[in-house]
Amino acid sequence: MAEQSLLSLLKRALELAMPDLRAYYRMTRKAKVVAAYASDGRYYADVQPLRNDESPDTSEPVIPKVEIPIVWGGPKRGIVCPPAVGTLCDLSYYDGDPNYPRISNFRWQMNGAPDCGLDELIIQQTPGVSLKIEKDGSFLTVSPENWTVEIGGNAVIKAAGNATVEAAGTLTLQAPSIIKKGNETCSGSDGGTGTTTENAHRTTNGSITVNGPLKVNGDLSVSGNAFAGSRSGGSCPH
C-alpha cells in the first residue's frame, strides 16, 4: 500500500514539474535542410531544428550529415534525390537517442507539392521535367532536354495499337542490318510527294511500278524482255 502511494506521489510530482526530458530522450520534431550533398553511397544532409511555428530553434545547433532514408533497399539500390536547401523535414531519433538522428520525412510546405490528380503518380525534378503515370495507366515523360536510353541487351517496344515517332529535325536509324517487315508508305513532310536519296545497291524480289517519269543516269541492262508502248528520240535497235 505504501509503495502504491509513493508511486502515485512521484507521478504527481512529475506531472507538476513537467521536466524537459528532450535532452535525454528526443521526440520527432520539425527541421530544415541547410546543406545537401551528392550521394556517393552515403546519403545525408545538414539540418537545423525548428520550433513548431517553423522558426529556427536557436538553442539547437545545426546537426551535420543526418541520414536520409531511401525507397527500396539493397546494395546500390534505391531512389535517391538530394534535397534542395530550405526543404522542411521531420527530424527523428533512433530510440529517442540524440546521438542517432535521422530524417524520417520531407514536407512540401513552403515549396509546394507537384500537381497530381487522384489515382495518378508523378516523379518530378522541376516543373516541366517529370515522369507521370496517368489515371488511365498511360505513361507521360516530359523534358526540355535530351533523352537517352542505354540497354546492354536487346530492346523491344510493343504497341497493341499504333506507334508514332515524331521529330522536328532528323530521324536516324543506325545499325549494321536494318530489317523492315510490313507494307511501307512514304511521303514528303507535308504529306505530298517527297524525295528519297540512297547511296546503296538495291535488290528487289518482286515487281516495280513507276507512276511517273523514270530517268536513268547510267547504263541500263535488261536480261529479260522489254516492252515499250511508245518511244521517242533515237532508234531502238533490235
Domains and CATH numbers, the chain: 21-107 (2.40.50.230), 114-145 (no CATH)
Nearest alpha carbon to residue 133 among 116, 145, 155: 116
Q: d(Cα 99, Cα 93) in Å, to the nearest integer?
A: 8
pLDDT tens for the 238 residues of the chain, in order:
566 788 888 888 877 776 666 666 788 999 999 999 999 999 999 999 999 999 999 999 999 999 999 988 889 899 999 999 999 999 999 988 889 999 999 998 878 899 999 999 999 999 999 999 999 999 999 999 999 999 999 999 999 999 999 999 999 999 999 999 999 999 988 888 889 999 999 899 999 999 889 899 999 888 888 887 776 666 666 5
CB-count exposure of residue 174 (10 Å: 0-12, 13-18, 19+): exposed
State CA 134 to chain mean position distance.
14
Q: Express the helix, strand and coil content of the chain in percent, nearest 5 each.
A: 10, 20, 70
pTM of the model: 0.70
* pLDDT 10s digits, 68-82: 999 888 898 999 999
Angle formed at CA 142 by CA 77 and CA 188, multiple of 5 degrees: 130
| Cα–Cα distances in angstroms (integers) from residue 224 to residues 121, 165, 221, 227, in the given order | 65, 41, 9, 10
Q: d(Cα 152, Cα 91) in Å, to the nearest integer?
A: 41
Secondary structure letter of residue 116 according to DSSP: -
Phi and psi, residue 204, nearest 5° = -120, 125
Nearest alpha carbon to residue 110 among 181, 182, 31: 31
* pLDDT 10s digits, 160-197: 999 999 999 999 999 999 999 999 999 988 888 889 99
